[in-house]
Amino acid sequence: MGRQPCCDKVGLKRGPWTIEEDHKLMNFILNNGIHCWRTVPKLAGLLRCGKSCRLRWINYLRPDLKRGAFNESEEDQIIQLHARLGNRWSKIASHFPGRTDNEIKNHWNTRIKKKLKLLGLDPVTHKPIEKAEKNDGDSSNKSNGDDQQQGIKLDDDEKLEGIELSLDETNDLFNSYQMLCESFDLDSWLNQDAANNTCSSSYSMEESSNKSSTGETNSTIGEDSLKQWVDSVDSFLSWDSFI
């Protein structure tokens, strides 16, 4: 017996969100806040499931989102945190105000992984590939590195230190990584387009998210700041065109 689906998918819209749907969802959350995602689509007049609404809000509509390319220090920090936390993207994202777990996960999978491989480091273990392979061979009955990391059951962040990689070990690995980076100008090689990353979705929320980046959570974002943000983003989305 499988689990019941999160919602009745019959008649629900899927795929990319339209500007109108975004507007409806944002207006609803602005006016009512978030109490129960399951009821949000119905009350907001959307033919979406609650999960889809939640995802859209978290990954795209949230006022405190910081959009645009990751800078070098952010990337370095992601690598460091990944060495400690593994693929726990939400934990990693919690260290980056305005960044989403999805965004970090995508960045890791598309860019950082390649970068590490190019440097001869295993993106899973963060160790030199030859060494990592040897270790895998030594423990043929063990699951692969990914599974090992995912298999860690920890109660909280405090317990992370000393498990898998200690902070010292992590820093050692990270230092090695930095040394490798210095000897090879990867960034200019990989990020040739970073400087002129001007896609339409790179609208910066930084101004309106200054407050939130100091630790404010979604639920504590004041209505005023949310309204300010809606005002500021209105022109960006050209909502007037369909109202």
Partner DNA sequence: AAGATTATCAACCGCCCGAGA
Partner DNA sequence: CTCTCGGGCGGTTGATAATCT
- Asked if 138 is part of the footprint of DNA (rule: CB under 7 A), the reply reads no
User: Which of the stretches 35-43, 160-168, 172-180, 221-229 binds DNA when contact is defined by CB under 7 A?
Assistant: 35-43
- Asked if 14 is part of the footprint of DNA (rule: CB under 7 A), the reply reads yes
**Which residue number, 48 or 84, has a Cβ lying nearer to DNA?**
48
Closest CA to 148 of 86, 79, 92: 86
**Which residue number, 37 or 174, has a Cβ lying nearer to DNA?**
37
CA triple 65-26-225, angle to 5 deg: 60
**Which residue number, 33 or 120, has a Cβ lying nearer to DNA?**
33
- Asked if 101 is part of the footprint of DNA (rule: CB under 7 A), the reply reads yes
> Applying CB under 7 A, which of residues 11, 15, 137, 215 lies at the interface with DNA?
15
> Applying CB under 7 A, which of residues 158, 193, 224, 240 lies at the interface with DNA?
193
The two tokens of residue 57 are 């809000």
Q: How far apart are CB 230 and DNA at their closest, in Å?
A: 18
The two tokens of residue 189 are 């090689």
Residue listed under structure tokens 């059951």:
153
Query: What is the 3-state secondary structure of 188-233?
Result: HHHCCCCCCCCCHHHCCCCCCCCCHHHCCCHHHCCHHHHHHHHHHH
